[in-house]
Chains A and B, each alone.
Chain A
Amino acid sequence: MAQTNSSGQGTNGVADESPNMIVYRKMEEVIARMQDEKNGIPIRTVKSFLTKIPSVFSGSDIVQWMMKNLDIEDQVEALHLGTLMAAHGYFFPISDHVLTLKDDGTFYRFQTPYFWPSNCWEPENTDYAVYLCKRTMQNKARLELADYEAESLARLQRAFARKWEFIFMQAEAQAKVDKKRDKIERKILDSQERAFWDVHRPVSVYGLQNDIRTHSPTHTPAPEAKQPTEEELQEQITFWQLQLDRHRLKMSKVAESLLGYTEQYLEYDPFLTPPDPSNPWISDDATLWELEASKEPGQQRVKRWAFGIDEVLKDPVGREQFLKFLESEFSSENLRFWLAVQELKKRPIREVPTRVQEIWQEFLAPGAPSAINVDSKSYDKTTQNVKDPGRYAFEDAQEHIYKLMKSDSYSRFIRSSAYQELLQAKKKVTKSNKP
């Protein structure tokens, strides 16, 4: 059978598959496991009144198998995944047009690989017309058209009125061929063909079966990779060399760091520690946000500033307090410089040259009113940058000042009585004016 995929070849020779194909392959792997003789779902022929129902298994069988073999603990999850697989047409309920999985005695059958979605089926309305027409020729109660099918047939007859004779002939021919088949084989093939149409012409326009095969326009086939040029290869080599020179941390250290971080912020994570007074989304009460917006920072918030200088710089109230403290010590120029440079990077490019000059005059020029102390290397570099001012003119100076603040001013701030007072302060309860 022709194997079609909807994308080109990758550089390593393996077909780059479209996202839908990847999912189809995975579902097919599961189906293969389900059909395994030893460990799969037991398929049997059920003897019913006057007839035999060949090659079926129950919905419960599927759910049981999935829970055992796919590491699923919850029946709801098994039903959800199973329903998706049914909606794609990999197995189907033999007595229903709606493709869902039920955890009961409902009988299901596997779809034949010929009709699998991975074959990129795009059946047309003429094909559907032939199929429905053929169904009307088979005088069996079980093959009677459902209401929606009868409606579709009527619609198609009007649409294809001119070539209906041709469609009819095809249907007749197919019906004749079908009659030659073994009765049991016919039952199975009929149900499989019907399931195919349940996927491609679903009974309901809305619902699970719609949009299954749709994909977003972002998943276009990957273009064939060109052979890299000499220049590109040189770039790659330089890149790998830089990467090799990088300093790496051991996994054990990294793990401890990640653990430490989540530990520290556990009490601030509303999903892990319910916020005080309440999570607005759950209680419908926005008090939490009102408290945060107030100028009075709560104890928990103040505590966070001690985690690191970034926490103080991130929080507008923290920045304010830090600045206030430094001003009381007459050493606020570092922080003011840092804030000014941050502000500079947020301005439109048009304003940058002017702002650069202003900052230079205020903080770095000889005789500057808020002179800051920068190492000579950074100072020289900055002097050069200011001549052709860009957004990153003060990057080196800013980095130096940041390190200075971190080791000096910040630690003094955290130890200061001003900070300690804020930390000890009792939480102020805001009086609610609600009736």
Chain B
Amino acid sequence: MCVCVCVCVCVCVCVCVCVCVCVCVCVHFYLNCNNMKYMRSPPTPEMATQEVPLNETLAHLKTESETLKSKLEEERAKLHDVELHQVAEKVEGLGQFVMKTRRTLKGHGNKVLCMDWCKDKRRIVSSSQDGKVIVWDAFTTNKEHAVTMPCTWVMACAYAPSGCAVACGGLDNKCSVYPLSLDKNENLAAKKKSVAMHTNYLSACSFTNSDMQILTSSGDGTCALWDVESGQLLQSFHGHAADVLCLDLAPSETGNTFVSGGCDKKANVWDMRSGQCIQSFETHESDINSVRYYPSGDAFASGSDDATCRLYDLRADREVAIYSKDSIIFGVSSVDFSLSGRLLFGGYNDYTINVWDVLKGTRVSILFGHENRVSTLRVSPDGTAFCTGSWDHTLRIWA
């Protein structure tokens, strides 16, 4: 075939000779099934695969560590005498739910990445890809404050317990606190206070039960507790082998613990006082995008790119339920519980929200409405509604 084409075109002299060579080459490539014309593979770093010879001590330690880990799995499994959904058979089933969008908040010009509720149960703060952070009265849908961060992808934002400040951060590797003034004309950006400094992007932040401390998680693989006033690092938490994507503080009045989830597929429970990891769970098959405590503080749920949500109980020290379906193949970006812990809401990358019966393990409802991924989901402080933020630039309040 190459030859045929050549002959046809080769009429005039120089120019055509060049052209027919080009054409030959083109045709050859076009015919070739391994046509790389359309393909531009993203640059893949060449991984060195040479084996580093382990010396005896290291090998011995490694074996010991792995043996202990297997033993732990055995011990955990021994106490698994029944499944949660089996025990839950005696519980009355949930009826049909009518959950609808009750408010739609429009105002962000780009993907909404994160949101948080104010303790007053009606105000929220949201952040987006273009650097905008907006404080809304979600009940009236009025925007009350807006500030533009000097960076894009503001992936984390949080409302202070007093309602007088918000914290946010993202690709700037920092967490900054903005006091909210009653004077609408005041330039919020001028009062910005840089609190946390990480060496990679900020993925999540949360005030403790005080305006004076912030807990952060980062793409640099660590979490950290900071004193807001001085910016001093109070405690750092090392243990994740990859980016930490999410965190949640335990709801206890007396406890000092929090849970974090990361790209290493692990969910770790930390002691805020000592910086030690006190429990670790590794059953997800991909990045953990969201973790949230069960309201009693005895368990927590996680949502992952493996399209499942899972429930881990701290007293049983293991995964006790998986929430998944054949028809759900897109990752979970965020999860939260209803006030009683009976319902688990999951925001998914297929634009939907799935509502799960935590005890029975079944899906109770699927909610449509967003026109792009649901990136963030939080239940309001009194449990009367939940808010979702999406890549479709909007936030919705559901009840």
Contacts and interface: CB of A to CB of B under 8 A. Distances in A.
B106 interface: no
B383 A261 contact: no
B5 A122 contact: no
A176 to B, nearest CB: 6
Given A177-B27, A271-B343, A243 B42 contact: no
Contact of B155 (A216, A270, A272): A216
A169 B391 contact: no
A272 B84 CA distance: 20
State the 7 A-B residue pairs at the shortest beta-carbon distance, nearest first: A346-B210, A240-B68, A269-B340, A122-B40, A348-B229, A265-B340, A255-B87
B22 interface: yes
B317 A81 contact: no
Interface in A173-218: 173-174, 176-177, 180, 207-208, 211, 214, 216-218
Interface residues of B, number: 132
Interface string A397-427: 0110010000000000000000000000000
A271 B364 CA distance: 12
B294 A272 contact: no
B245 interface: yes
Interface residues of A, number: 118
Nearest to A273: B340
Contacts of B172: none
Contacts of B326: 70-71
B153 A120 contact: no
Given A6-B42, A173-B30, A270-B339, A23 B82 contact: no
B384 A224 contact: no
B340 A272 contact: yes
B103 interface: yes
16 contacts: A77-B366, A80-B350, A81-B329, A123-B38, A123-B40, A174-B27, A237-B64, A249-B315, A258-B299, A262-B340, A265-B341, A270-B399, A281-B139, A281-B399, A292-B382, A395-B273
Given A120-B42, A280-B384, A256 B329 contact: no
A176 B24 CA distance: 12
A105 interface: no
B327 A269 contact: no
Interface in B12-67: 19, 22-23, 26-27, 30-31, 33-34, 36-42, 44-45, 47-49, 52, 54, 57-58, 61-62, 64-65
A314 B381 CA distance: 13
B320 A244 contact: no
B330 to A, nearest CB: 6
Contacts of A269: 338-340, 342-343, 383
B294 A258 contact: yes
Contact of A243 (B48, B279, B343): B279
Nearest to B345: A271
A249 B80 CA distance: 9
A3 B65 CA distance: 35
Contacts of A72: 327
B82 A70 contact: no
B75 A244 contact: yes
B65 A177 contact: no
A271 B338 contact: yes
Interface of A: 1-2, 4-9, 17, 19, 22-23, 26-27, 30, 66, 70-72, 74, 76-78, 80-81, 84, 114, 119-124, 127, 166, 169-170, 172-174, 176-177, 180, 207-208, 211, 214, 216-225, 227-228, 230, 233-234, 236-237, 239-241, 243-244, 246, 248-259, 261-266, 268-272, 275, 279-282, 286, 288-289, 292, 310, 313-314, 342, 345-350, 391-392, 395, 398-399, 402
B168 interface: no
A279 B287 CA distance: 36
A267 to B, nearest CB: 8
Nearest to B342: A262
Contact of B41 (A120, A217, A234, A244): A120
Nearest to B94: A272
B87 A80 contact: no
B382 to A, nearest CB: 7
Given A71-B325, A230-B57, A259-B359, 5 more contacts: A81-B327, A176-B5, A243-B279, A254-B313, A266-B342
B76 A248 contact: yes
Interface in B338-382: 338-343, 349-352, 358-359, 366, 368, 371-372, 375, 382
A121, A224, A345 pick with most chain B CB within 10 angstroms: A345
